[in-house]
Amino acid sequence: MFDLSLNNKVVLVTGVDDMLGAAICKKLAEAGAIVWIHRFHTNEAVDLHKEIRSMGGLASVITSDLQTANEVQAVVKKIIEQNGKIDVLINYADKSAKTTINQLTPSAWLAAFQVNLDVPFLCCQAIIPIMLGLKGGTIINITSQAASTGDVGPAYAAGKSAFQSFTKGLATEFTGTTIKVKEVVAPISLHDQNSSFQAKNKVMKAVANKILLLCTPYLDEEIEALDKEGLNK
């Protein structure tokens, strides 16, 4: 049986404002992680924080716009002051207001890119030096099927497509290092108003389980073992 424990791992999850974000935080807390739940404007994540605490998990809530490097650095500083490190960054911050091209204003277009692309860029730029100092870390960028399907509107699709390209570039930069950069593509069905709660809940559990797996060294160890097995044949 493989070990999926995240005991004493400090995890920052950005943009936790829906059921999938909550499912991710709860799954990581169940595995023993110290979870920092980020919200943009309000402390609506307080209930999630209480739920995690009630099941014996460790979590804190932090609120910030994350619109500038200084705001991101302030969040990072608070986490470091309290926990001394950041082992995992999960970029989940998302802006998915559906608009047609005629409804889309220049400010709404820029806002979609600011949340879907600029925020994860600023977070990675601030946290990677910390991970390098720790001799390792994991970054998981949660993108969307909309990047390839075009659903949820042109601004969202374009922002997520750019986010996917950013993730590929970052992963290439850190290939062969102790920094792991992974992508998880959220199914477009999570935006489907006709999809049942049961169906969405099943998808959310699957996504949360995949993220937990990527947070552990299990997959890397399995790949290394397969490589060694191949060399020994």
Q: Point out the catalytic residue in the list 36, 40, 92, 156.
A: 156
Tracing tokens 């922002």 back to the chain, one arrives at 159
Q: What pLDDT band is residue 175 in, cutting at 50, 70 and 90?
A: very high
Question: Between these two residues, 175 and 196, which has the higher pLDDT value?
Answer: 175
- pTM (predicted TM-score): 0.90
- 156 flagged as catalytic: yes
pLDDT at res. 44:
62
- Domain positions in the chain: 10-231
Task: Return d(Cα 102, Cα 105) in angstroms, integer.
Answer: 8
Write the class of the CATH domain 10-231.
alpha beta
Map residue 83 onto helix, strand or coil. helix
Question: Mean pLDDT over all residues of the chain?
Answer: 88
Q: Which residue has the higher pLDDT, 4 or 154?
A: 154
